[in-house]
Amino acid sequence: MPRHVAIIMDGNGRWAKKRYLPRAMGHRRGVEAVREIVRAAGDMGLEALTLYAFSSENWKRPADEVGDLMGLLKHFIIADIDEFAANGVRLKVIGRYRELAPDIVALIDDAIARTSGNSRTTLAVALNYGAQDELLRATASLAGQIADGTLAADSLTPDHVSAQLDTADMPPLDLLIRTSGEQRLSNFLLWQCAYAELWFTDTLWPDFTRQHLASALADYAARERRFGGR
Ligand code: FPP
């Protein structure tokens, strides 16, 4: 059983296109899938679930689509926070979320504070997240420690880097899932993926259900993880 699963939720646009619907409908159905998978993660006993909701590159999308995604995010936090709070879900955000609109930042901070005492499942939502940016921030912080003499450059270990990442307080990443048939990491959790198992499916994100998650976990259970050993 993996402790920490991450998902690149891809294919909302194609889901909508196949049905001659606007892309916004695909994202809306994508949020329904998020809801089901967060519930399933808790039911299945996952300690942590990290979802790639908005990358630092997603700002390149047309302004109306960015607006749709931000609106859905806002609605999601408002509508779902009570359920999280009641079900032992601790909300966490990774990425530069403080650069989002002030009302969204306030909602996020409130939701984080309200669920900070929960310990059943950590739901980390990646917002304005890019793994290279996360690694640059970690590097700058370590460089500062080296410069002020609190850390010796020749004593650096992977744990020093891990401790500076946005995921520092989460279990190691065991399994990365990407939907919609694409097979790339798209600047998501690059450091954390070092020994993660990768699982790809052609299913588009709005069609992804708890049965798909269960299949991924079953495949994971059958894999032999060696972490470079033999
Ligand atoms: C990829 O579909 C999906 C995203 C841009 C991010 C996922 C966003 C959501 C599920 C909705 C908001 C999330 C939360 C947590 C409220 P795409 O548009 O890249 O699809 P395409 O590749 O088929 O065009």
70: domain CATH number is 3.40.1180.10
For residue 111, being part of any structural domain is answered with yes
DSSP 22: -
For residue 19, being part of any structural domain is answered with yes
| Cβ of 12 below 6 Å from ligand 1 | yes
Q: Which two tokens stand for residue 214?
A: 């269960």
> Is 90 exceeded by the pLDDT of residue 230?
no
Q: What is the mean pLDDT of residues 41-56?
A: 98
Task: Decide the pairing of beta strands 175-178 and 48-55.
Answer: unpaired
> Is 90 exceeded by the pLDDT of residue 68?
yes
Domain that holds residue 56: 4-129+172-221
For residue 45, being part of any structural domain is answered with yes
pLDDT at site 202: 98
Q: Which two tokens stand for residue 198?
A: 């990768």
- CA 13 to ligand 1 center in whole angstroms: 7
pLDDT tens for each residue of 176-211: 999 999 999 999 999 999 999 999 999 999 999 999
To the nearest whole percent, how much of the chain has pLDDT over 90? 98
Strand order in the sheet with 121-129: 89-94, 121-129, 48-55, 4-8, 175-178, 197-200
| Cβ of 10 below 6 Å from ligand 1 | yes
φ/ψ of 128, rounded to 5, equals 50, 45
pTM for the model stands at 0.97
- CA 9 to ligand 1 center in whole angstroms: 6
Q: Which two tokens stand for residue 73?
A: 């995010």
**Alpha carbon distance 161, 143 (integer Å):** 11
For residue 31, being part of any structural domain is answered with yes
For residue 150, being part of any structural domain is answered with no
pLDDT tens for each residue of 121-162: 999 999 999 999 999 999 999 999 999 999 999 999 999 999
| Pocket test residue of 27, 72, 83 for ligand 1, highest count of atoms within 8 A of CB | 27
- Give the C-alpha distances (Å, rounded to integers) separating 9 from 83, 180, 199, 206: 22, 8, 12, 9
**Alpha carbon distance 18, 130 (integer Å):** 29
For residue 73, being part of any structural domain is answered with yes
To the nearest whole percent, how much of the chain has pLDDT over 70? 100
Beta bridge partners of 89: 121
Banded model confidence at residue 9, pLDDT cuts 50, 70, 90: very high
Number of folded domains that form the chain: 1
For residue 14, being part of any structural domain is answered with yes
pLDDT at site 28: 98
φ/ψ of 194, rounded to 5, equals -45, -45
**Alpha carbon distance 191, 41 (integer Å):** 23
Beta bridge partners of 48: 4, 122
- CA 228 to ligand 1 center in whole angstroms: 33
> Is 90 exceeded by the pLDDT of residue 225?
no
Atom 1 in ligand 1: which residue has the minimum CA distance? 10
| Cβ of 31 below 6 Å from ligand 1 | yes
For residue 197, being part of any structural domain is answered with yes
